[in-house]
């Protein structure tokens, strides 16, 4: 079976044919293309659960980001809370300071998603209306709200270094990649996100009160 699986890597088989078929509408790249790409330039998975792998590689990813930008990162910054303790965020890392002005979020994704995120951001940078927030939608995951939350909770924050890292990639230049999200990129969304979060809290509080009144 292992030989059979190895022979299929990087080859368009009957099973993969549907996943690489051009979309009937639009000009998006089929997800199967990124899987095929990953099979060409990434080492095969070894069976380690993706979540466990992500946790294992997180600090390694953050260390590379710190080295690239000359940052002093605290990789155990605890949780940040709003003044009323009702909203919060759990940073992967942040400036080693009482009032952090930068933070870093690490994602160690499946190889095909890692490559998709990098290619999409690199191509988007060539456009005059580039906003890194649009690069945080990777495959079926959308990390936009998670990153905006950093800015909602910390008014001193200037930038989040959104780090993509995959040690299975054979090309060193794209093993580690950073999307820089600055406050100017999220400023129009911060107030709105805080508002809907506080509305959600109020709704839950009303529901709790209703449940208490039920006889």
DSSP state for residue 127 in the 8-state scheme:
S
Quote the tokens at residue 200.
Answer: 């959600």
Question: Tell me: the pLDDT tens digits for 182-203?
Answer: 999 999 999 999 999 999 999 9
Computed over every residue of the chain, the mean pLDDT equals: 89
Quote the tokens at residue 143.
Answer: 């990390």
Question: Tell me: the pLDDT tens digits for 91-102?
Answer: 999 999 999 999
- Would the pLDDT of 106 be above 50? yes
Using CA atoms, how far residue 81 sits from 58, 85, 106, in Å, is: 22, 5, 20
Question: Tell me: the pLDDT tens digits for 69-83?
Answer: 999 999 999 999 999
Quote the tokens at residue 172.
Answer: 């060193």
Question: Tell me: the pLDDT tens digits for 123-135?
Answer: 999 999 999 999 9
Backbone angles phi, psi at 62, to 5 degrees: -70, -35
Q: Comparing 32 with 111, which gets the higher pLDDT?
A: 111
82 contact partners, CB below 8 Å, separation of at least 6: 88, 152, 153
- In this prediction, residues 49-66 reach a mean pLDDT of 93
| Inter-residue contact 189 to 148 (CB < 8 Å) | yes
| Inter-residue contact 150 to 162 (CB < 8 Å) | no
């Amino acid at each position: 079976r292992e030989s059979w699986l190895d022979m299929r890597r990087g080859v368009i088989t009957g099973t993969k044919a549907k996943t690489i078929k051009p979309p009937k509408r639009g000009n998006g790249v089929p997800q199967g293309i990124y899987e095929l790409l990953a099979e060409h330039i990434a080492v095969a998975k070894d069976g380690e659960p993706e979540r466990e792998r992500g946790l294992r590689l997180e600090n390694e990813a953050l260390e590379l980001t710190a080295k690239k930008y000359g940052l002093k990162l605290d990789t155990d910054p605890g949780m940040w809370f709003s003044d009323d303790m009702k909203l919060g965020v759990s940073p992967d890392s942040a400036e080693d300071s009482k009032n952090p002005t930068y933070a870093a979020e690490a994602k160690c994704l499946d190889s095909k998603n890692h490559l998709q995120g990098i290619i999409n951001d690199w191509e988007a940078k060539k456009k005059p209306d580039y906003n890194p927030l649009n690069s945080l939608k990777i495959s079926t995951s959308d990390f936009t709200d998670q990153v905006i939350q950093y800015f909602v909770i910390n008014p001193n924050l200037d930038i989040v270094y959104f780090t993509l890292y995959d040690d299975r990639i054979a090309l060193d230049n794209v093993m580690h990649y950073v999307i820089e999200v600055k406050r100017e990129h999220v400023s129009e969304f911060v107030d709105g996100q805080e508002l809907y979060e506080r509305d959600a809290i109020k709704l839950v509080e009303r529901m709790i009160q209703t449940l208490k009144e039920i006889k």
